């Protein structure tokens, strides 16, 4: 190998700086080793990104999906991860949106284990409580400070919390008993037959406002809510202006808005609707389960959001829940 007499300017790949090869065999070997490590880091990062974009199928059951992903993660990260799934969870049909939300929280929590803390061992558990399911992820690392836990932009907390709160759940991050970090997530069953403790049961019949520009979607949702759900009447609107006009002249218990309407942006309709009827809970209809507008909708006043591909029982449960929260 012939080396150039002048050293090129330093370049960087990921975090490791690489300089032009010095004219000594040992330094050259060190630079090559450093470059290989850098490329391996980039490849692993790309792998994690692509894996994160993939939406798993839960047809085989939540226990199998979680178990396979955890096993692959532990091997890749060099961390021992114990997994326990209660029999109530493995034998219960968990709605896809709930299962996906729990899966994303687990991914983010274990991703933080690999990126931010010195961990030799972690654990993931799924258990049932009176009204839903609890996911707990713990590690034996150095932990995170209270200040770091309060920073919304750190450790993916804002996204995790927004996703779970939209489904009526919660995420709590605290110091684990062994000195590491504990991430505990609770999500309710989609269609619980009873109200939670301290919460009044709402009347079965609800007046629902539905705004969507697709007639087949409106008809399908209306039939679902009237025949199998809690709605006594569903007022349909094809445009944002139609929805606002209906809201101005009638009282609704729940409103469901498509994020994309032909005449107005769904978020603009949401803001104007909240000015007309501040107490009416609004559920946003999104095309995908993890839409870029989800967090913006929650900040604009939405009580939650639903994918158009959501399980019917999840939709019914969400409507009951937001209506119950308003009537407490």
As averages over each run of 10 residues, the pLDDT of the chain (328 residues) reads 45 45 64 70 52 69 91 89 83 76 88 75 86 87 59 54 77 79 84 37 68 91 79 90 93 92 92 93 78 79 84 79 71
Q: Is residue 94 part of a domain?
A: yes
Burial track 3-12 (b if 16+ CB lie within 10 A, e otherwise): eeeeeeeeee
Q: Provide the angle, in degrees to the nearest 10, between the axes of the packed helices 215-227 and 312-326.
A: 70
Reported as a single tens digit per residue, the pLDDT across 75-112 is: 988 889 999 988 767 666 677 778 888 998 898 888 88
> Are 69 and 171 contained in the same domain?
yes
> Are 63 and 183 contained in the same domain?
yes
> Are 47 and 63 contained in the same domain?
no
Q: Is residue 8 part of a domain?
A: no
> Are 89 and 155 contained in the same domain?
yes
Domain count along the chain: 3
Q: Is residue 298 part of a domain?
A: yes
CATH of the domain at 125: 3.30.565.10
Q: Is residue 295 part of a domain?
A: yes
* Domain interval for residue 309: 206-326
Q: How far, in Å, are 21, 28, 42, 45, 94 from residue 33 at the CA level?
A: 12, 9, 14, 18, 47
Quickly count: other Cβ atoms within 10 Å of residue 237's Cβ: 24
> Are 260 and 237 contained in the same domain?
yes
> Are 124 and 179 contained in the same domain?
yes
Residue matched to tokens 């799934």: 85
> Are 65 and 183 contained in the same domain?
yes
> Are 135 and 32 contained in the same domain?
no
> Are 260 and 293 contained in the same domain?
yes
Give the residue from 138, 161, 188 where a domain finishes.
188
Give the residue from 54, 70, 102 where a domain finishes.
54
CATH of the domain at 306: 3.40.50.2300
Q: Is residue 114 part of a domain?
A: yes
- What is the pLDDT, as a whole number, of residue 268? 93
- What is the pLDDT, as a whole number, of residue 236? 95
Distance CA 297, CA 267 (A): 6
- What is the pLDDT, as a whole number, of residue 239? 95
Q: Is residue 195 part of a domain?
A: no
> Are 211 and 322 contained in the same domain?
yes
Burial track 299-308 (b if 16+ CB lie within 10 A, e otherwise): ebbbbbbbbb
> Are 178 and 280 contained in the same domain?
no
Q: How far, in Å, are 77, 165, 252, 256, 295 from residue 323 at the CA level?
A: 44, 15, 10, 12, 20
> Are 41 and 142 contained in the same domain?
no
Pair 165, 158: CB distance under 8 Å? no
Give the residue from 158, 188, 218 where a domain finishes.
188
- What is the pLDDT, as a whole number, of residue 270? 94
Helix, strand, coil abundance in the chain, percent, nearest 5: 45, 20, 35
Pair 117, 180: CB distance under 8 Å? yes
Distance CA 228, CA 207 (A): 14
Whole-structure pTM value: 0.48
- What is the pLDDT, as a whole number, of residue 288? 59
- What is the pLDDT, as a whole number, of residue 169? 84
Distance CA 158, CA 278 (A): 25
Q: Is residue 308 part of a domain?
A: yes
Q: Is residue 199 part of a domain?
A: no
């Amino acid at each position: 190998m012939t080396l150039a007499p002048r050293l090129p300017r330093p370049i960087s790949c990921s975090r490791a700086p690489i300089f032009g090869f010095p004219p000594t065999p040992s330094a050259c070997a060190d630079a090559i080793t450093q470059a290989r490590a850098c490329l391996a880091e980039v490849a692993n990062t790309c792998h994690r990104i692509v894996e994160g974009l993939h939406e798993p199928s839960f047809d085989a059951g939540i226990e199998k999906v979680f178990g396979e992903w955890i096993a692959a993660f532990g091997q890749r990260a060099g961390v021992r991860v114990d997994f326990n799934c209660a029999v109530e969870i493995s034998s219960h049909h968990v709605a896809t949106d709930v299962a996906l939300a729990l899966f994303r929280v687990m991914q983010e929590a274990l991703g933080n284990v690999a990126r931010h803390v010195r961990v030799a061992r972690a654990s993931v558990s799924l258990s049932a409580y009176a009204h839903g399911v609890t996911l707990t992820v713990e590690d034996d690392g150095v932990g995170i400070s209270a200040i770091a836990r309060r920073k919304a932009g750190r450790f993916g907390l804002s996204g995790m919390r927004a996703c779970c709160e939209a489904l009526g759940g919660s995420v709590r991050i605290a110091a684990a008993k062994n000195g590491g970090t504990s991430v505990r997530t609770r999500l309710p069953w989609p269609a619980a037959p009873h109200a939670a403790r301290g919460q009044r049961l709402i009347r079965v019949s609800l007046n629902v406002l539905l705004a969507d520009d697709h007639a087949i979607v409106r008809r399908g949702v209306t039939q679902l809510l009237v025949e199998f759900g809690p709605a006594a009447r569903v007022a349909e609107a094809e445009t944002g202006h139609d929805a606002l006009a209906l809201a101005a002249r009638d009282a609704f218990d729940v409103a469901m808005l498509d994020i994309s309407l032909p005449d107005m942006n769904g978020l603009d309709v949401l803001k104007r609707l909240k000015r007309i009827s501040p107490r009416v809970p609004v559920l946003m209809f999104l095309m995908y389960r993890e839409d870029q507008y989800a967090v913006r909708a929650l900040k604009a006043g939405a009580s939650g959001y639903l994918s158009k591909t959501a399980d019917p029982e999840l939709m019914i449960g969400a409507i009951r829940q937001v209506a119950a929260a308003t009537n407490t």
